[in-house]
């Protein structure tokens, strides 16, 4: 569990307008691009190594365990629909799509993938769901019930264009195809839970579930932490609220245990490069949590201020060329 906590997003501090402009400048763009390429290269090496190990196990007469990754998107704009459709074709070609609420034992030797969307943007209804319905791919959408039909009212990490996107309305939520689309909670207000009092956190976690159950007349069993921010106490509050499973932003293999309560996910975007998406789908980015754990230890030894560490994936939240 400590791994999830260390990987949880850090609150971003904006010191001044000038600093923000520098951070958003070309130097930072180049740096983010370089980090993306480095992660891609490391993930490719990791994947090739893992595949070699699996083949060796096969030679020894042993079957490799099942591999399942949970992917999480935010939005899919109209300009990204074709890229998203291509990603869905890759998904069904490489893995068996399963719901995020899956409880059955996974078959050894097979690859699986579960699809989730955080926030509940209308562009997901308009552009992503039709592509998933056409391919019979199940998905879970985590929504913020107090803002249904409105614009986001939370910290968008500098991606100001997101504030212009509308969230799913109550009517749209009720009209979704229930045989494929599951609804989960994303708190009442998209709150940063680690800084909330226990009473505030309990209200965000419990009331969001109750609100959605009243609206949809169905059980709400799944929850995802906004910004990935969680700790042991918040996870326990989710248990107490009646959730069956909660989702973090740790890129780990999922559904290793039928009773698994905390499940990791890998962030994906329609703008991901084809190889990048394939490697994420295949679980090649699961080397990241141990590296980030080491990074946290080094920062602690150097007594660096972690408040300046950006949320994981924050630079990827916006559109890319």
How many CB atoms are closer than 10 A to CB 279?
21
Q: For tokens 């990490």, what's the residue?
A: 157
Measured CA to CA, the distance from residue 128 to residue 265 in angstroms comes to 19
- Listed by start position, the domains of the chain span 2-303
Q: What is the pLDDT of residues 105-150, one digit of tens each?
A: 899 889 999 999 999 999 999 999 999 999 999 999 999 999 999 9
pLDDT reported for residue 192: 94
- With beta carbons less than 8 A apart as the criterion, state whether 1 and 232 touch: yes
Own/partner contacts of 309-314, CB < 8 Å, gap of 24 or more, are 309/10, 310/10, 310/12, 310/157, 311/9, 311/10, 311/11, 311/12, 311/157, 311/227, 311/228, 312/7, 312/9, 312/228, 312/249, 312/267, 313/249, 313/267, 314/9, 314/12, 314/157, 314/158
Q: What is the pLDDT of residues 47-75, one digit of tens each?
A: 999 888 777 766 776 778 889 999 999 99
Asked whether residue 253 carries a pLDDT value surpassing 90, the answer given is yes
Q: Which CATH number fits domain 2-303: 3.20.20.370, 3.30.70.960, 3.40.50.300, 1.25.40.390?
A: 3.20.20.370
Whole-model pTM: value is 0.85
């Amino acid at each position: 569990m400590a791994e999830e906590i260390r990987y949880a997003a850090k609150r971003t501090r904006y010191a001044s307008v000038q600093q923000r402009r520098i951070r958003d400048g070309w130097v930072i763009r180049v740096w983010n691009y370089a980090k993306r390429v480095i992660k891609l290269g490391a993930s490719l090496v990791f994947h090739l190594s893992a595949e070699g190990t699996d083949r060796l196990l096969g030679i020894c007469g042993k079957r490799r365990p099942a591999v399942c990754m949970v992917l999480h998107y935010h939005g899919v704009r109209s300009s990204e629909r074709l890229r998203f459709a291509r990603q869905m074709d890759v998904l069904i070609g490489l893995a068996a799509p399963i719901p995020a609420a899956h409880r059955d034992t996974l078959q050894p030797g097979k690859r699986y993938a579960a699809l989730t969307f955080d926030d509940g943007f209308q562009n997901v209804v308009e552009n992503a769901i039709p592509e998933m319905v056409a391919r019979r791919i199940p998905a879970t959408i985590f929504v913020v019930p107090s803002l249904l039909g409105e614009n986001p009212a939370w910290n968008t990490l500098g991606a100001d264009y997101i504030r212009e996107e509308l969230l799913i309305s109550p009517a749209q939520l009720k009209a979704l195809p229930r045989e494929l689309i599951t609804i989960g909670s994303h708190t009442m207000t998209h709150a940063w839970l680690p800084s909330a009092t226990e009473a505030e956190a309990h209200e965000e976690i419990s009331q969001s579930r109750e609100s959605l159950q009243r609206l949809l007349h169905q059980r709400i069993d799944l929850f995802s932490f906004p910004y990935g921010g969680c700790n042991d106490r918040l996870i326990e509050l989710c248990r107490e609220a009646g959730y069956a499973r909660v989702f973090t932003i740790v890129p780990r293999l999922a559904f290793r245990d039928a009773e698994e309560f905390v499940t990791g996910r890998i962030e994906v975007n329609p703008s991901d490069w084809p190889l990048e998406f394939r490697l994420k789908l295949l679980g090649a980015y699961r080397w990241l949590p141990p590296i980030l754990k080491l990074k946290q230890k080094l920062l602690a030894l150097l007594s660096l201020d972690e408040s300046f560490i950006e949320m994981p994936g924050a630079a990827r939240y916006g559109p890319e060329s």
